[in-house]
Structure 1
């Protein structure tokens, strides 16, 4: 099958969608975003063979669904795989990962400043999970939105957290892992919400919901959510690790110069357009085979994505968020620039386009 390159405009994207339909790509890749029947936040979805597996906070615990496509997840039965029997508190943003033939679900639980990361594991995606284990992340500070990935043979854990014990701002941190459940060494800050376009809504200012993906050149990206999730200014942005860079060194990461997926034009990166049908898209999930960034898609047509957002015309509130299916593709020759920090001021490589 001939690969189609990512389109350079919304009109061109429509033509690509038509071509994709003609070529009969799998139905799991929708022609445009669809609002699912799931009134929920923070989707996490992986593909295992021909089955799509999702995880969400539900019923005072965590539920897993399985379906033949992303669009069918909403109608699939939700199986409760873990309940908060120890009254840990609010259960936020579970992330499902497959590593070494086992499934690991990472989630944050707690109340207020007590939020920490936990993990449950099983050989099956929707049963057999045991008691939660607290991840002993370095410095033991407030932590949410954590997930595991492997890059260049090393396991890494990335999350959103506080530098200290007070809610000043949410930074992105990374740490090595010696196993799917064991952190090793220090934590390193790799992003802080210091750019004007990611400080439109604050108290606190946030970088959260990091998701790893590898571009066609093999470079690591962490796309994340910026601005408050309680606002329609919530959006997705990108961190790109320079070629040969050290994931623990903050200045080896280059940040997009604006939102790549958002509903407010003033916050968008030049050349990226705001959404037409939803407000505040954020906390997304790249739907990768086995959730493995080694299976990240090549340059070509659009690939499956899930995100949460609020339908336009609906009051923006947490309770009005839905899961959406969508698509993304790679966008080449994109320069991210910065000033006044160590290292080169520009880095050119792959970025991403997201589509409703």
Structure 2
């Protein structure tokens, strides 16, 4: 009689073991979105710490964490509040943190309190080792001396010993948002006039917008520029890709090639509408490339605080081009970045 019961017990134990093997290891996974809100996310890694920020509209906050998958557990620390009046008093957008020349620099977009002048890009400096501490000194507006047009989404790019500033702006003649580049004299001053390197040209670049430029470099030191298109108020917001000719001068527009198709676009069935305005970072062990971007979870949510930050791993094809794929479905377990 014992043998009659042993067989079912054996099968039960075997099936239990199999179920345990098939069950996802929740300790090794995470799900998007990382936070309920976080437009224009940006991440920088320094000294084993990730610093994250996003658009709040009224101040600049930082979160710091050793694991990006645990971002929600990191408290938001307000590091800068705009003055009540002046050229940088309102509409604080798209902050980016950079470690340059042994100091921290925060680049952000802001508008004037007079509500007349358009958005421009400004710089803050901090000498503290930890950017959530210390004092942020206003270094003023960073601008091309020949123009003071609408200018947003500034980022810094170092290449072959020269530092460059890349941003989205107007040319003073129309409202088309173009991408510009200029050489930098120091972290808050441009050393050259601007050069236009991109303007909308394909059908998927609707509404005359190229914005949110971000640099991505592969192992072969090929340089790419990822940018956002269409306007955040639409469900067609997406990411485009440009490639710099090998060892070429980035100040020459002809050295940049724009790819004919977007590299990331929305996928409604995955709860991903208007994905864009991204950043890039490495996994803890430095072996994986990851993208962080915002998206809306439902249609027609526009440019508000419902845009939430998401991250997923990117890979590279045989030709060295970045491959992001489609937005990972919200709530779907993903393996954490290697080393977490």
* Candidates 67, 71, 74, aligned match of 1:73: 71
Give the equivalent residue in structure 1 for 2:301.
Answer: 316
Tell whether the 8 Å contact from 1:42 to 1:56 is kept in structure 2 after alignment: yes
5+ residue gaps, structure 2, are: 1-23, 329-340
Q: Give the superposition deviation at 1:331.
A: 2.2
Tell whether the 8 Å contact from 2:57 to 2:91 is kept in structure 1 after alignment: no
Change (3 A) 1:288 1:137: farther
2:200 aligned counterpart, secondary structure: coil
Tell whether the 8 Å contact from 2:240 to 2:259 is kept in structure 1 after alignment: yes
1:251 aligned counterpart, secondary structure: helix
Tell whether the 8 Å contact from 1:231 to 1:280 is kept in structure 2 after alignment: yes
Tell whether the 8 Å contact from 2:124 to 2:137 is kept in structure 1 after alignment: yes
CA–CA distance in 1 between the matches of 2:317 and 2:244?
16
Change (3 A) 1:131 1:186: same
Residue deviations 1:47-103 (CA, integer Å, cap 9, x gap): 123221012333721111111212222231111111112432211100111112221
Tell whether the 8 Å contact from 2:282 to 2:289 is kept in structure 1 after alignment: no
Give the equivalent residue in structure 1 for 2:315.
Answer: 329
CA–CA distance in 1 between the matches of 2:156 and 2:135?
18
Give the equivalent residue in structure 1 for 2:271.
Answer: 277
Aligned-CA RMSD value: 2.7
1:137 aligned counterpart, secondary structure: coil
Tell whether the 8 Å contact from 1:190 to 1:249 is kept in structure 2 after alignment: yes
CA–CA distance in 2 between the matches of 1:58 and 1:233?
22
Greater gyration radius: 2
CA–CA distance in 1 between the matches of 2:321 and 2:302?
33
- How many residues are treated as equivalent by the alignment? 293
Counterparts of residues 170-209 of structure 1 (less than 5 Å):
170-199=177-206, 202=207, 205-209=208-212
- 1:61 pairs with 2:56: no
Tell whether the 8 Å contact from 1:332 to 1:351 is kept in structure 2 after alignment: no
CA–CA distance in 1 between the matches of 2:143 and 2:67?
34
Give the equivalent residue in structure 2 for 1:147.
Answer: 155
Change (3 A) 1:194 1:131: same
- Structure with more of its chain in strand, by fraction: 1
Tell whether the 8 Å contact from 1:211 to 1:222 is kept in structure 2 after alignment: yes
* Candidates 226, 229, 233, aligned match of 1:230: 233
- For normalisation by structure 2, the TM-score amounts to 0.79
- For normalisation by structure 1, the TM-score amounts to 0.75
